[in-house]
Structure 1
Amino acid sequence: MEKNQILKPEQIFLDIDESSQKETFIKIASVAKELNFINKEKKLIKAFYKREKESSTGFGDGFAIPHARNNDIKKPGIFFLRLKDGVEWDALDGNPVKIVIALIVPLDKASDTHLELLSKVAQRIIKPEVQKVLSTSKDKEKILKELMG
């Protein structure tokens, strides 16, 4: 799995105005459709909500890692969104989320790819130095490098 195919600068959005979890999911789905990761935006949004019902993907420190798997997703991808203002996400620490790192994986590659991506991202973002870059940098290449290791 080539990491440069999973996250590219055009999948990174800095200081955007989405003001709710719903708006954030709509933004991710819109970009995923535009970049040919998915066929139908509604299916991806529904998959994100299905996962959130299991347990919140907001794990604290202003970070959330929503993830979706379904047969409408054509190829694995990561989408990074830094929100201007934090949004309610039902995060484990009760705080709003400002950094959203969304993972999407086709159902046929779901088990290995999904767990590999989720593990890699989670391991990276628990590091304070990585959190600082993701929270403050205006350089998409630097964000990409920090996130993907």
Structure 2
Amino acid sequence: MEIKDVLNKKLMILDLQSSSKEDVVMELVKPLVKEGIVTEESHFIKTVMDREAQSTTGIGMGIAIPHGKSSVVTEPSIVFGKSQKGIDYEALDGEPSYIFFLIAVPENSDDQHLRVLSQLSRSLMSEEIREKLLKATSEEEVLKAFQ
């Protein structure tokens, strides 16, 4: 499974409105619920926030990759979100986060989410990809950033 295989135009928010960590998680979960990928919204939000309590997924460079593995997730999915103003996500470098990838995987899946997380982290090390994502004004531009 590659990043481009799980990115879906219906799971993208190009102008996040949230201003806090928990709010952005709630906002990113909404498309998963709308598409029937998450069957119980509050349960999955709690799963992601419990993971955040262990250690932040704000990896720095303006990026956060919250994730959760849960029985209320029907298929592996990634929600892309972008904030124009930046959100304090308690990132490792202390800077605001602008680019978000929420990874959702079913409870019974293997460690494929770890492979996607690893791929995503490697891709986002590229300043060129980060710039393309920050400048993206359409879902197509987000997808092209990973080609």
Match of residue 135 from structure 1: 134
Give 1:142 shift. 2.3
Give matches, 1:1-149, under 5 Å. Answer: 1=1, 6-111=6-111, 113-147=112-146, 149=147
Which contiguous aligned blocks of 4+ residues in structure 1 show a shift greater than 4 angstroms?
1-5
Q: Which has the higher helix share?
A: 1
- The whole-number CA distance in structure 1 between the counterparts of 2:136 and 2:66 is 22
SS in 2 for 1:89: coil
SS in 1 for 2:102: strand
Aligned-pair RMSD on alpha carbons? Answer: 1.6
Give 1:104 shift. 0.6
C-alpha distance 2-117 of structure 1, shift in aligned 2 (>3 A): closer
C-alpha distance 131-2 of structure 1, shift in aligned 2 (>3 A): closer
- The whole-number CA distance in structure 2 between the counterparts of 1:78 and 1:145 is 16
Give 1:17 shift. 1.5
8 Å Cα contact 2:3/2:119 also seen in 1:
no
Gaps of 5+ in 2: none
- The whole-number CA distance in structure 2 between the counterparts of 1:130 and 1:13 is 17
SS in 1 for 2:108: helix
C-alpha distance 63-22 of structure 1, shift in aligned 2 (>3 A): same
- The whole-number CA distance in structure 2 between the counterparts of 1:48 and 1:102 is 9
Amino acid at match of 1:26: M
Higher relative contact order (CA 8 A, sep 6+): 2
Give 1:84 shift. 2.1
Q: Report the count of equivalent residues.
A: 147
* Aligned-residue identity in percent: 29
Query: TM-score if structure 1 supplies the norm length?
Result: 0.91
C-alpha distance 78-136 of structure 1, shift in aligned 2 (>3 A): same
Gaps of 5+ in 1: none
